[in-house]
Structure 1
C-alpha cells in the first residue's frame, strides 16, 4: 500500500513498524524536548543573573547577542561537520561543549565575572547549532521512513520542553536555589539524557563513508530505493555546494520568516500586551502562554493537514493565518479581539518550521548540508530581530512594531512552492 508524504512523495507505511525507526522516533522526541528545555530554564533567571553580574538590561541584552553570534558562526560549518564525521559525533561534541559552556556561565555568575559569562554564552550558542541540525535531520529521516508527516510532532516536543524549562526555572527561583547550582543541575541532566539517547536517535542518519541501507529515499509499489553514503570528499563538497542552490536558499527564507514569527512572540508578545493594553504582567504571560498552546496543539494535530493537502498548501494557509493574526493583534482596539489574533498567529506559526526542515531533507545524502544552510537563516533571524524590533518599538510601541513580521510572511508565501517534495529524478548525484 503506497502513501504520500507531504503532498507528492510516495512512501510505504509498512516501515513504520520497524523497531529501529520506532526507537529513533522516541529518542529524537526526547532530544527535542531537552533541547527546548535548556534556554528557557536559564533565561528565566535573567533578573538574578543581571543582579549578580551588576549589569543594566541593555548590557545584558548585548551579552545575550553573543550567543546568537556563536550560533550563526557554527551553523555555517555544521553541515560539513555532520557530513564528514556524522550526526552522532556532532551531538556528542555539542553536549560536551554545553557542559563546558554552562560551567563557564555558572562560574561567571558566581564570581561576577562578565567575560567568563560571555565566553560561556558564546560556547553554548555554537553548541546549539551543532544540536539543532543533526536532530532535525534525524527527525526528517524518521518522517521519510514512517511515510507520513510527523516532523511537527518533534517541534511540538521542543515547545513542550520550552514550557517545562520555564517551569523548572520558576521552581528553582521559588526555592531560592542559586543560579550557579541551577545551571549545573540542568546541564548535567540534559547531558545525561543526550548521551543516553544519541545512539538510537542517529541510527537512520548515513554514516560517513559507509553504506546506509536504513535510509530510504523513495518507495514505490514494487521496491524500496536505498541510498548509500558517498565518500567523505564528495559529500563534504555537496554540503558546501548547498549554499549555491536556489531552492535551498529560498527554503531558508521560509525558515527565516518562521523563526521571526515564533521568536518575536517569545521576546515581545508579553511586553506588547502589557504596554499595549495597560495590563498586568501576569496577563502578558498568559497571552504568551496562549500563543505557545495554540502552536503546540496545531503542531500535534496539523500533520494530517500536511498529509492530505501537501506542504505547499499548508504553508500558504499558515502564512495567511499568521498575517491575519498579527494584523488583528497589532490593530485590534480591544484586548479580547487581540487575543483572537494571538491564537491565529500561534496556529500560523506552528507548521512552517517543520515543513521547511522536511523540504530541505528530501534528498537524504544532501540533507546535512541543506539543513545546515536553512537553519542558518533561523540564526540570522535570532540575531537581527531583537535590535530591529527594539528600535521600532521605541517609536511605534511593541504591538505595532510586531506588524513588520507580516513582510517576512509575505516573502514566505511568495516562495512557498519551493517546499514541494523533490521527485527522485530531480535528485542530483554527489560528485
Structure 2
C-alpha cells in the first residue's frame, strides 16, 4: 500500500504540506456544499421552475464527465500540489459569481465552470495527498477525506443558517469565497514543489496509453467498480433515506431526516480512525470487512422495516464504507505504469458515470414496487464492494510518489 516510506520522521516541509493538503480538502468540501442550502433562493430569485433548476445543477457533474480526465495531463505538466491549490483558488473565486447569475443560462454556465474546478481539484489534491502520505511512511489519506466530510457538513450548516437568518445569497457566498480563496492561496505556499514528485507524475505512457492498455485499464476498472459500489451506499442515505422512512415506514419529518445525518456522522468518524486501522490490518481486509458490515446492517434494516432500524442500519453502513473512497483513490494513484494524476482522474470519471445510473435504477424499482424493494440494490452493491476489495492490494512494480522522487525502485 502507499505509505511504505523510508521510516524517517516527517520533515517540517512534509508537515506543512500535510496541512496544505488538509486545507485543500476542506476548501473542496466547503465550496459546492455552501451552495446546496441556497438553491431554493437562487431558483426563486431567477424565477426558475424546478426542472430548470435541476437542469442547471446538472451542469456541475456534467462538467466533471466532460473534462474531468484532463486533470491527469495537467498534473503531469505542473505538479499535483500546484494544480490543486491553483484550481481550488479559481473555484473559490467563482463561488460568488453563482449568486450574480442573471438568468438560467448564466447559472448553468457558472455551475459548469465550478464543476470543472471541483473535478480537477479532486484529482490533484488526492494525488498530492498520496505524495505526502508516502513521505510520512504511513496512511493519512483517510484523515484527509475526513477533513472533506467535516468541511462539507460545516458548509451546509452555515448555508442553512444563512438562509434561515435571511442573509442575501451574494453576501453569504462572497464571504465564504473570500475565506476559501485565502486558504487556497496559503496552501499554494506550503505544498511540495513539483520536483518532489516529478518522476511519478511523468512516469507513464500518458492518458491515451493508459486507456489503450489492458494491463492498466483492468486494475483501474476494478478500483472504479469498488467506488461505484461504495457510492451506491453513500448516495442511498441522501437520495432515498428520507423518502423510504416517510413513504414506506410512515416516519415523521424529523426521524426521516436522520438516516443521512447518521450516515455522514459515522462515516466521518470512520475516516478519522481509518488511517490507524488501515496501517494495522491493511487496506483489503479493512475494506472487505467494512463492506460486509454495511451489507449486513442495511439488509437487516430493510428486513426489520422499522424507522429506527433504518437509522441504525445507515449509521453502521456509514462506518463500514468510510475508508472505501480514500483507499480507492490511493490504489488508483499507484497502479503500475500509470501516472498518479491520470489514474485518479480516470477512476473518478468512471465512478461518476456509475453514480448517475444508480439513483434512476432504484427509483424505477421503487415505482414498480416500493422504495424498500428498490433499496435492496444497496446491500447487493455492498457485497459487490467486498468482492472487488482485492483491487486495493499492492501490485508488484506499483509506483509510490516519494520513492520515485527519492530515486527508489519505481523511479525507473
State the TM-score bracket (shorter-chain normalisation): 0.7 to 0.9
**Which residue matches 1:361?**
333
> Once the 2 structures are TM-superposed, how far is the Cα of residue 322 of structure 1 from its aligned partner?
1.9
Per the normalisation by structure 2, the TM-score is 0.88
Is the 2:271–2:322 contact (alpha carbons within 8 Å) kept by the matching residues of 1?
yes
> CA distance change for structure 1 residues 126 and 388 in 2, over 3 Å: closer, same or farther?
farther
Q: How many residues align?
A: 399
Aligned-partner SS, 1:49:
helix
Q: Does 1:326 align with 2:294?
A: no
* Cα distance per residue 1:12-34 (max 9 Å; x no partner): 3323x311111111121121122
Per the normalisation by structure 1, the TM-score is 0.84
Is the 2:64–2:116 contact (alpha carbons within 8 Å) kept by the matching residues of 1?
yes
Q: Does 1:60 align with 2:53?
A: yes
**Which residue matches 1:119?**
109
Instruction: Trace 1:416-431 onto structure 2 (pairs within 5 A).
Output: 416-424=389-397
> CA distance change for structure 1 residues 397 and 61 in 2, over 3 Å: closer, same or farther?
farther
Aligned-pair RMSD on alpha carbons?
A: 2.7
Q: Does 1:240 align with 2:208?
A: yes
**Which residue matches 2:253?**
281
Instruction: Trace 1:403-418 onto structure 2 (pairs within 5 A).
Output: 403-418=376-391
Distance 1:229 1:149 in 2: 18
> Once the 2 structures are TM-superposed, how far is the Cα of residue 325 of structure 1 from its aligned partner?
2.4
* Cα distance per residue 1:216-244 (max 9 Å; x no partner): xxxxxxxxxxx8357x6x75x33333334
Distance 2:367 2:303 in 1: 17
> Once the 2 structures are TM-superposed, how far is the Cα of residue 390 of structure 1 from its aligned partner?
3.6
Q: Does 1:339 align with 2:307?
A: no
**Which residue matches 2:26?**
33
Q: 2:238 aligns with which of 266, 269, 278?
A: 266
Distance 1:118 1:314 in 2: 40
Q: 1:349 aligns with which of 290, 306, 321?
A: 321
Distance 1:101 1:261 in 2: 31
Q: Does 1:14 align with 2:13?
A: no
**Which residue matches 1:197?**
187
Is the 1:242–1:248 contact (alpha carbons within 8 Å) kept by the matching residues of 2?
no
Distance 1:333 1:200 in 2: 50
Task: List gaps (5 residues or longer) in structure 2.
Answer: 401-408
Q: Does 1:299 align with 2:271?
A: yes
Is the 2:28–2:148 contact (alpha carbons within 8 Å) kept by the matching residues of 1?
yes
Task: List gaps (5 residues or longer) in structure 1.
Answer: 216-226
**Which residue matches 1:74?**
67
Distance 1:397 1:169 in 2: 33
> Once the 2 structures are TM-superposed, how far is the Cα of residue 121 of structure 1 from its aligned partner?
1.1
> Once the 2 structures are TM-superposed, how far is the Cα of residue 123 of structure 1 from its aligned partner?
0.9
> CA distance change for structure 1 residues 330 and 56 in 2, over 3 Å: closer, same or farther?
farther
Is the 1:79–1:372 contact (alpha carbons within 8 Å) kept by the matching residues of 2?
yes
